[in-house]
A and B are shown apart, each in its own frame.
Chain A
């Protein structure tokens, strides 16, 4: 095995472990953050300042009984939780954390991220369908409608950095921003709205509040995860967090200049930007209410899609006028 391949495989193991650890920390962080917003303390008992709470949760879920309902389609029911983990973690492979810290800086990186992101809809729908529970199926149907709708503005907004940099390779897109300007800074009238649409659409794909229609715990019990117990439930729960982290990292690379920044090494900046973005996601989550399905679809098709087309046009005009 050549050095390049070895490097790639070692980094992929590294990235999977780092993202999973970050996910565990994100669980703790969100609970602490939410608690502070609501003037509570959050987890304090397990470990120093409750840091080991995710480990305790994991151990608890491991000891739960594994139940498959009688009428469920057992094959699909058991297959989809690992698929959820796979789809959420997959995109992490091409995210460049610094010029050298990347598992594989694929020449079609952006396309790969979007493609693997689109796969997340399959496990959610599979879970809804195979449970044979009306609430789960309704959650699944809504999730499909929402995810595929927001796929369109997501593709359009991610195209803006591609046009501006002329590359699908995430490393090149970041390097371009490091050499010139971050795309949210200049041209800000194109980059900033595109960044906004990208983050909104990514939230919708990761099913975070205000887009958590598939779960909607106050009306659908727990949506698609209603029938799941133990680690299978944990996988869905974890996939949501992983997806948020990876989406934040991709957003930072596409629009916020990735590893670019003064004084500190690139890796620090990339991690800092990713952390800031997903803190913003939690902030939104604990501040806003859930949208209704019709509001959600209206926002997507009547606002984000036309705006996305406009932004792509604006980016093309920008590039062709100021080459």
Chain B
């Protein structure tokens, strides 16, 4: 890419650096300015004041979270494919319309299948 093509991204970089930098600075300030009176109880985890429940938090968790992640990947990538089409849609006209109709119908069939299989029911 030419420098001209990258020029619009410089302000973005500036905003991101500023935002991240400010965040880092205030975190460090808080660590420097705050009182330091560590104690054994303070550095245990907080569970609404009761004794921390035994065992690590990092255990296996429900499979439904994985199902949602898989669904997300499928549908999110399909929608990302739609974006270049959406921008050029006016130029593509009926041809683009037909092509994307096929794609969208496939997507909807996929959603209907997943729905029928019960993957969309969170409590099951």
With the chains together, A70 CA to B41 CA distance in Å?
A: 10
CB distance from A299 to the nearest CB of B (A): 10
B-side contacts of A209, CB under 8 Å: none
When A141-B65, A159-B79 are in contact, do A132 and B45 touch as well, CB less than 8 Å?
yes
**Chain A, interface size: which category?**
35 or more
**Minimal Cβ-Cβ distance residue in A for B66:** A145
21 contacts between A and B (CB under 8 A): A8-B11, A9-B11, A9-B14, A20-B22, A63-B33, A65-B42, A69-B45, A82-B27, A92-B15, A93-B14, A104-B8, A106-B8, A106-B12, A132-B57, A136-B57, A144-B69, A145-B65, A159-B83, A162-B86, A319-B89, A320-B89
Q: Which of A49-90 contact B (CB under 8 A)?
A: 61-71, 78, 81-86, 88-90
- Cβ proximity bits A284-314 to B, threshold 8 Å, 1 near / 0 not: 0000000001101110011001100100110
Interface residues on B, range: 35 or more
- B16 interface neighbour in A90, A133, A163, A293, Cβ under 8 Å: A90
Query: Does the CB pair B34–A13 fall under 8 Å?
Result: no
- Chain B residue with minimal CB distance to A234? B26
Taking A227-B46, A232-B27 as contacts, is the C-beta distance between A86 and B19 under 8 angstroms?
A: yes
What 4 A-B pairs have minimum CB-CB distances, sorted nearest first? Answer: A82-B23, A231-B30, A294-B122, A85-B23
The interface residues of chain B, by DSSP majority, are classed as: helix
CB distance from A267 to the nearest CB of B (A): 18
List 12 additional A-B contacts (Cβ < 8 Å) besides A81-B23, A298-B121.
A62-B29, A63-B33, A63-B35, A86-B16, A90-B16, A93-B15, A94-B12, A145-B65, A168-B83, A231-B29, A302-B120, A320-B89
